Structure 1
């Protein structure tokens, strides 16, 4: 993982980073658990967390690196696709990801990586395991493709744009499109 150029990580970003040097020195099967409680970390510019990110993760030493598993909860602020109002959606994500070291903990030599290895799952040169990208991806996967504020959302009026959840507008229920008016009038003419 490349260091951030000239920009110091925020406290929230640091809370999602774990020094796993001691765990990497231990035998396969060693385990460490961590509680996560971060006030609305900024994971993505388009992803607004309205609440804290909290839960537990477990780091298990495996032959090739560290297996991270856990469950996290947060609240995401979204825009309803029907009425365009903002609303908060509780999200629960499960994480199961294998992280591999870039530096051998014993020799200090750079380790060879698989060509298709995701950079987000690499443990950096200082043996820091960073969960931010993995959590960001997991949260995005839990967000519905077409989020709605509630199942009975009435949406917007197609004529005036009034939010129908806040009250009805004065627009006619079934307006006639002017382009079809000629056909409708010819249907009512005798002899057609």
Structure 2
């Protein structure tokens, strides 16, 4: 699984890009270099109803570690995602984060030779482009059908939406408007309503 950098192989990546420059890392096995900064997304990351939009900032809190066959990147990436509730279609933003543990192998090593089978990514010269890893990580983290209650809301942000059982608000015995016609046709109205009519 290779990675394609948007930065020239021998150039210096922009300070706010998702590209990491491993030249700052000592070539001694076990050598470590922290990466703690903001980066700007060049494109949307996410799925249809939840995504971090292009141009947004994400916070990198990572550690690069030099190993015999490449560079190991570990840590977390966080940002804010735009969400459209699959239940009420209301929109809101929420904090999101993923944990990364990604091996980037040096071409020509045994790890690089087995990249496809072992889910190992490849170094692009001396550079690491994090975007493909973030696309995969957030894609697995984000639900396909997010709801308001998935992200800390007690109820849907759109107050007109029926509750999951089809009842809106706190009224008991209320029939979901989508079924009201059938209920009336087959006499499935609330008995209490019928008593009230007879009264």
Structure 2 counterpart of 1:88, from 93, 118, 131: 93
Match of residue 192 from structure 2: none
- SS of residue in 2 equivalent to 1:133: helix
Runs of at least 5 residues in structure 2 that lack an aligned partner in the other structure: 8-12, 190-199
Larger displacement relative to structure 2 (41-50 or 61-70): 41-50
Match of residue 123 from structure 2: 123
How many Å separate the matches in 2 of 1:144 and 1:79?
A: 11
- Judge conservation of contact 2:74–2:101 (CA < 8 Å) in 1: yes
- Judge conservation of contact 2:33–2:65 (CA < 8 Å) in 1: yes
Match of residue 18 from structure 2: 16
- SS of residue in 1 equivalent to 2:140: helix
Please give the per-residue CA displacement for 1:40-74, whole angstroms capped at 9, x wherever unaligned. 54243743338420132110011221111112210
- SS of residue in 1 equivalent to 2:45: coil
Where in structure 2 are the equivalents of 1:25-174 lying within 5 Å?
Answer: 26-44=27-45, 46=47, 47-49=51-53, 51-103=56-108, 113-114=113-114, 115-118=116-119, 121-124=121-124, 126-149=125-148, 150-153=153-156, 154=159, 156=161, 173-174=174-175
- SS of residue in 2 equivalent to 1:59: strand
Runs of at least 5 residues in structure 1 that lack an aligned partner in the other structure: 105-109, 159-163, 166-171, 186-192
Q: Given the two structures, how large is their TM-score scaled by the length of structure 1?
A: 0.65
Q: 1:43 to 1:118 in 2, by over 3 A?
A: farther
C-alpha root-mean-square deviation of aligned residues, in Å? 3.8
- Judge conservation of contact 1:101–1:123 (CA < 8 Å) in 2: yes
Please give the per-residue CA displacement for 1:134-182, whole angstroms capped at 9, x wherever unaligned. 1222222332343223231156359xxxxx79xxxxxx93254438825
Q: 1:39 to 1:128 in 2, by over 3 A?
A: closer
